[in-house]
A and B are shown apart, each in its own frame.
Chain A
C-alpha cells in the first residue's frame, strides 16, 4: 500500500498532460454551460461603460496577440459587444505590439458579421493601430491624437471627414471617457499619465497571472474595473446576456473546459501530497 502511495509522487508528467487534455477536451466536444457569478471588479467595469455620456468615445488599447489570446480575446469581445450594443463609438490603439491590431480587427469583424451588420468603420469605430514609446505615446494621445496618429491603421488621414467622421469629434483626452487596456500585462502607465493627470476612467483586461498585482488599483479607485482572465470575460458575458442560452463569447466557451482542467490540477496536487506524506511516514517507520 505504501509503495503505491509512494509512487503517486513520481507519476510521469505526460500522464498528467494526457488527463488534462482529455478533461478539457470533453466540454469542447459536447459543449455545455455552467452558471457564472459576477465579481465586483467585472461589475464595476460594466457599470462604468453603462454611464458613458453621449458625445464621448472609449479608447481601447488592444495590445494582445496569440500569446494571451485564450484570455484577452474573450475580454475585448465582450467589451466591443457592449460598446456596439450601447452605440458607444470607440477608437482602437495598440501599445507597443505590432501584431496586436490584426487580432483586434478580427474580433470586431466577427462581431459585425454575426450581431451588428449595420455598424460601420469610421462612424462606429476606428482602428489607429500601433503606437510605440508607452508613456510618451499615452501623453501624445492625451494632448493631441493627430500628433501621434496622422493616419489610421488603413492609411486614411484622420482629417478625412468622409472616411473617418468619428475622428472629427475626437481631438484629445477631453473627448475620451474611458481607456480600456487589454493585454497580457496592461501598462500601469495609463494610471498615472491618463487617470492621474486628467482623471479619465481607466479599466484593465489582463491575464490571471498578472491580476494579483492590479487589485490594489481597484481598491484605491485608480482603476474603474478589471476583467481577470477567462473568468472576467465569462462574467462580463453573463451580465450582458442574463439568459444562459444567449451567451456565445469566447470567455463563456472556455470557462467550462478551464474548470475541468483546474479540477485535474487540484486532484494532481492532492494525490502528490498524499504520496509525499505517505513517503514521510514510511521514512519515519524505517528509521
Chain B
C-alpha cells in the first residue's frame, strides 16, 4: 500500500511489536491487544455477513415480499426458525431448539454421506495400483503404447506397501505375535513416524511464514520511516530489560524453556 499514511504504518507496527512482546513473557499489553483484535474482528464480521449474506439473501427478499404481498413474505419463517436456536437459553422452551437441531443434523447427515462417497471412492480405487507399471501408470501386463517405467513401478510398490503396513498396524482385533504381522505392524509404525515428521516440518514452515510476513512489514515498510532517536530509545530499552531481567533471574540462559 504505497499511499498508506505514516500514522497507520506506525499503528500496525506498534500492534505487531506489542503482540510479539509475548515472546519475552506474558504481559498486559499483549492481552489487551488480543482482546482488541477479537472485538474488532467480531464487529467487522457482523457487518460483512449482514451486507453480503443476510441482507441480500434473507432481509431484502422478505421486505420485498411484504411490500408486494408475495410469497417472499415466507422468509420471515426462516428467521423465526433461526431464532429457535436461542431457546437453548431457556429450560422451559429448550425443546423448541431441538426442531432446528434436528433439521441441521438431517441436512448434515445427507451432505456427509454424499461428500464422503464422492471424496473417498476415488481414493479407494486409486489405491489399487499395478506393481509392474508403464510410464502412464497402466499395468505392464495389459497391452499399451507407453514403455515400462522403473520409477513408476517403485512408486507403486512403496505406495501399496505403505498402505498395507499401516493398515496392519491398526489391525487390533488380532494379536501382533506372528512374525509377518509383527514385522508389517512395526514397519507401519515407522512409516507413520515418517509422515508425522513431514507434518512437523510443514508446521515449522507455516509458523515461519506467519512471522516472516510481519518481519517483512517491519523492516521494509515501517523501518524506513523511523527516526534515528527512536532506534536509540529501543536499544536503550532492550538493554535495560536484559539487565533488569538478569538481575532478577541470574540463571536466564539456563532456563527450563529450551
Chain A positions near chain B (C-beta within 8 angstroms): 7, 9-17, 20-21, 24-25, 28-29, 67-71, 73, 98-99, 101, 106, 129-132, 135, 148-151, 153, 188-189, 191-193, 196-197, 207-212, 216, 219-222, 229-231, 253-254, 257-258, 261-262, 265, 272
Contact = CB atoms under 8 A, between A and B. Distances in A.
B202 A209 contact: yes
Interface of B: 1, 23-24, 41, 44-45, 48-49, 52-53, 56-57, 60, 111, 114-119, 122-123, 125-126, 159, 195, 198-199, 202-213, 215-216, 219-220, 252-258
6 contacts: A13-B257, A98-B48, A209-B205, A219-B159, A229-B205, A258-B212
A189 B115 contact: yes
B114 A98 contact: no
A191 to B, nearest CB: 6
Contacts of B220: 28
A212 B202 contact: yes
Given A98-B49, A192-B115, A216-B123, A28 B215 contact: yes
A109 to B, nearest CB: 9
Given A98-B45, A191-B118, A153 B52 contact: yes
Contact of A220 (B1, B122, B219): B122
B243 to A, nearest CB: 15
A216 B215 CA distance: 33
A188 B45 CA distance: 23
Contact of A219 (B116, B126, B198, B205): B126
A17 B213 contact: no
Contacts of A207: 206, 209
Contacts of B204: 262, 265
List 8 A-B pairs, minimum CB-CB distance, nearest first.
A196-B118, A192-B118, A70-B213, A70-B209, A98-B48, A208-B205, A220-B126, A209-B206
Contact of A230 (B116, B198, B199, B205): B205
A68 B207 CA distance: 9
A229 B209 contact: yes
B219 A25 contact: yes
Nearest to B25: A14
A212 B44 CA distance: 33
B215 A10 contact: no
A10 B254 contact: yes
Contacts of B116: 192
B110 to A, nearest CB: 10
Contacts of B208: 24, 258, 261-262, 265
